[in-house]
Amino acid sequence: MNNELIEVLRDIVNIQGQKGNYDYDEYMRGMYNGMELMLAIIEDREPVYKTLDIN
* Model confidence, pTM: 0.88
Helices 26-43 and 3-16 pack at an angle, to 10 degrees, of 160
d(CA 16, CA 31): 8
Residue 55 has a pLDDT of 56
Rounded mean pLDDT of 22-44?
A: 96
Rounded mean pLDDT of 26-37?
A: 97
pLDDT tens-digit series, residues 40-52? 999 999 999 999 7
